[in-house]
Amino acid sequence: MTTKLITTTALAAIATLAVASAASAAGELNIYNWGDYTNPELIKKFEKQFDVKVTVTDYDSNDTALAKVRAGGHGFDVVVPSANYVPIWIKEGLIEEARPDQMENFKNVDPRWVDVPWDKGRHYTVPWQWGLTGIGVNSKVYGGDINTSAIFLDPPPELAGKINVAPEMNDVLFATIKYFGGEWCTMDKEVLRKVRDKLVEAKSKWLAMDYSVTEKLPAGDYSAVYYWNGAIMRSRLKNADIKFGYPKEGFPFFMDSVALLKDAKNPENAKLFMNFIMDPENAAMISAFAKYSNGIKGSEKFLPAEMQTAPELVVPAEFEAAGSFLESCEPETQQLYTKIWTELQK
């Protein structure tokens, strides 16, 4: 998932304020989640229902969350890592086997999201939201085919100099490797050389690698983005000219899942929360706020109408196969990718 550090703080503050008023709380729950990602209404509902005082703290990247939790003394109960990071959290012994698969509401989880490669049978984590990284283009500026990574790797002249690319190493490298027919986590030097050369060349036609898409894409500062689908949908709601494209060469899916931390102080409340968000009505509240899909069956009917048919969220059958999950690569591969990424940013 993404960093939305910029627009978030205010929301977090509001959420915290709202929370502070629930004075007579019987317990506490400290949620550590991505910024601009937690619906304050959902939190309010949980607080009321269970008489628990909830605090939400934001992070801006998987690595930040990992580093902070590993350092200890964080005081958080639940965390929401991305799919490719869940195995690391398990391997490093940071999250507890909370057995959500034995919880009451687990029956609502879409079978598609039960036997996931990062958590077989869901012994550790509960689906929060999932989405994909795709193309957003202002159709007033460019009218051609946008279902391709060429939009940001070989940009048409109309878009050159007006492109924003998500500053997320894995998502960018994934699309570029696929663009050259490679597999994710490849160590094939021939492919990687092409990837590096293409990115260095393409970058001169990018305007920024920034997180402020929901504001600057609708306003016209950017004419095209390679970014997360929910944010592009939010941009479209502000400016109807924004169109969404699925890179046919390949694009990454992501899913963020809620996990219980091993050193949680309020494990029981955390489990209550995990069960709570598997309720379709509550899952719909998560999606209604951040505009990403959740993994809960039956939540569709509680979603705002605009989300049920959104072209950003309903993946067309023809593009379904082009998407795959970002797995976590071996440390050596990661190091090689980091080098390419650093070279890109010099």
**Binding stretches for other proteins (CB under 8 A):** 61, 63-64, 66-67, 70, 88, 92, 161, 164, 167-169, 189, 192-193, 196, 203, 206-210, 216, 219-221, 331, 334-336, 338-343, 345-346
CA dist., res. 81 & res. 92, Å (int):
13
CA dist., res. 196 & res. 325, Å (int):
22
CB of 27 to other proteins, least distance (A): 32
Burial class of residue 321, CB neighbours in 10 A (0-12, 13-18, 19+): exposed
CA 10, 172, 295 angle in degrees (round to 5)? Answer: 60
Exposure string for 221-242, b = 16+ CB within 10 A, e = fewer? ebbbbbbbbbbbbbbbeeeeeb
DSSP state of 111: G
CB of 307 to other proteins, least distance (A): 28
**Cα 237 to the center of its chain, rounded Å:** 19
CB closer to other proteins out of 70 and 112: 70
CB closer to other proteins out of 308 and 335: 335
CA dist., res. 126 & res. 327, Å (int):
18
CB closer to other proteins out of 215 and 300: 215
CB of 83 to other proteins, least distance (A): 15
CB of 340 to other proteins, least distance (A): 7
CB closer to other proteins out of 44 and 198: 198
DSSP state of 328: P
CB of 342 to other proteins, least distance (A): 5
CA dist., res. 210 & res. 227, Å (int):
10
- The set of residues, in sequence order, having a beta carbon less than 8 Å from that of 320 and lying 6+ positions away, is none
CB of 95 to other proteins, least distance (A): 14
Only one residue has tokens 């400290």, namely 30
Count of CB atoms within 10 A of residue 99's CB? Answer: 15
CB of 242 to other proteins, least distance (A): 16
DSSP state of 243: E
Angle (deg, nearest 10), helices 40-50 and 5-20: 20
Query: Residue 31 pairs with which residues in a beta bridge?
Result: 56, 78
With residues binned 3-state (H G I as helix, E B as strand, rest as coil), the percentages for the chain, rounded to 5, are: 45, 20, 35
CB of 73 to other proteins, least distance (A): 15
CB of 141 to other proteins, least distance (A): 13
CB closer to other proteins out of 29 and 66: 66
**Nearest one of 245, 261, 291 to 78, comparing CA atoms:** 261
CB closer to other proteins out of 96 and 168: 168
